[in-house]
Amino acid sequence: MRHRVAGRRLSRTSQHRLAMRRNLVASLFEHETVSTTVEKAKEVKAFAEKLITLAKKGTLSARRRAVALLGDRDIIDYEDGKAVKKGTIIGKLFSEVGPRYLDRPGGYTRIIRLSLRRLGDNGQLVLLQLVGKDESSKKGTKAAAKKRSRKRAKETVEVQETAQAEEITEAEEITEAEETTESSSRQDEPNQQQ
């Protein structure tokens, strides 16, 4: 029995699991989205979020800790058939990814299930993504949505009230115009009879 033994084995040795975790997280930080299986994504998610929390600190000791946990591989891009170094994973983590989530208390990644299955073993595929930079926490979004809906409701009530007031004034004008035409026609009737 595996009492109090945390983590999935994923049919790999401990060294293989460690290397796989590092590679997946490095690819996640490089491309900001990775397609993998459900089990691997759930296993890697916590590790990625710990590294982003280190990147939010931004100190030298945090950077050294991240290098020790993840390694510091280069980001290579191919331009005109030649490999060009664009930076390092740790550099991108501490300069772009960490500052993006400074005001976010957690939940930097998300798992989106895909309808696709892997051809070889029919494994369930998912997307492991970094949450977008323009997305705020759900609390803020819900609060903002409530404020917007209250504001819209208030505006619609004001519009309805002004529309009713305009209808009332139009009705009053119409009745006044009718009264004036009736009174003028009454004055004209005695003149016509004579």
Question: The whole model's pTM is what?
Answer: 0.68
Q: Which of 29-43, 109-123, 134-148, 161-175 has the lowest mean pLDDT?
A: 134-148
Q: What rounded mean pLDDT belongs to the chain? A: 87
**Mean pLDDT of the 170-184 span:** 76
In this predicted structure, the answer to whether residue 52 has a pLDDT above a threshold of 60 is: yes
Token pair listed for 12: 């790999």
Residue 99: which pLDDT band, with cuts at 50, 70 and 90? very high
Q: How far apart are the first and last CA of the chain?
A: 119
Q: Which residue has the higher pLDDT, 140 or 160?
A: 160
